[in-house]
Amino acid sequence: MLQTSFDRNPSPAQVAAAVVAATEAGRRIYTAVVTRSPGGALTGRRWWLAEGASGGGETGGSLGAPALDEAVAAAATTIFPARETSGGASRDFEYRDSAGTAATATVYVELHAPSAKMVVVGAGHVAAPLARLAAMLGFRVEVLDDRPQFADPSRFPDAAAVRVIDFRDPFADTPLAPADHVVLVTRGHRFDYECLVRLLRMSRPPSYIGMIGSRRRVRATHEQLAREGFTLEEMKRVRAPVGLDLGGQTPAEIAVSVAAEIVMHHSGGTGTPLVKKERIVDRFLGGRTNS
């Protein structure tokens, strides 16, 4: 039997406010409501868990029974398949008593995750079209540079944040999560290196790390990382030079190649031209001859 608790039951509006606060702060939050319980005693009870920046988190409300609160808290972070997923998902959770016979309560659990961020480090010529394209793809765009005249919000109307940084600690004011993306388009090898060291040493680094640059620049950066003790597997996590080989040269064309690679990365594409993949003319008209 579930031991009933009489902790405060937050209203739907209070849960919604917690969701907004958490996602705006870049944190994942799980909400739960009991949809079926013995005799309906717990039905309608609500609870939430907002993940902390370094594990743990904070909770609010109660599902009406300590055992149920604990079970849902333990299950919430495991019942959704991809921790990197941005946006949201939902599941029904069946709570069973210690005997494990029949479900004692059904809880509807929702995951609310902030939109994935695209952090563009370097506010030069490529950064402007890249920020615009990233916003079109649904990212929360943040642009970082150490030059105030370049890190000017008026140059990046689609960015949610534009910050002047110190490259000795470039992400000090930019929390990063596994769902996030970082693209380095800085003006020099030294700045790329400072960023990569911090990214690769994060306990939960961004899922996508890209770096623009010539073969010589990319090689020099990786050689320095190797001297610093980074493994080959760690360095392979950096997509450098970033982007697909589209042959473009202008800042806008380079930005398109980077955005295209990111779409391919998430969608599982190959980058093969569709005309070659589908071969409509060869497959359906190849045997025909003009009369």
Give CA–CA dist 179/208, Å, rounded: 8
Quote the pLDDT of residue 84. Answer: 47
Q: Which of 108, 93, 176 is nearest to 142 (CA)?
A: 176
Average pLDDT over residues 128-149: 96
Average pLDDT over residues 120-130: 97
Average pLDDT over residues 121-131: 97
What confidence tier does 275 reach under pLDDT thresholds 50, 70, 90? confident
Quote the pLDDT of residue 119. Answer: 97
What confidence tier does 286 reach under pLDDT thresholds 50, 70, 90? confident
Rounded mean pLDDT of the chain? 87
Residue 272 in this model has a pLDDT that exceeds 80: yes
Domains of the chain: 12-113 (no CATH), 117-267 (3.40.50.720)
- Using DSSP's 3-state secondary structure scheme, residue 71 falls into helix
Q: Residue 201 phi/psi, 5° resolution?
A: -90, 0
Query: Could you tell me what percent of the chain has a pLDDT over 70?
Result: 90
Residue 120 in this model has a pLDDT that exceeds 90: yes
Quote the pLDDT of residue 83. Answer: 45
Quote the pLDDT of residue 1. Answer: 45
Q: Residue 36 phi/psi, 5° resolution?
A: -150, 135
Q: Which of 70-84, 160-174, 266-280 has the highest mean pLDDT?
A: 160-174
pLDDT in tens, 228-257: 999 999 999 999 999 999 999 999 999 999
Give CA–CA dist 132/199, Å, rounded: 24
What confidence tier does 4 reach under pLDDT thresholds 50, 70, 90? very low
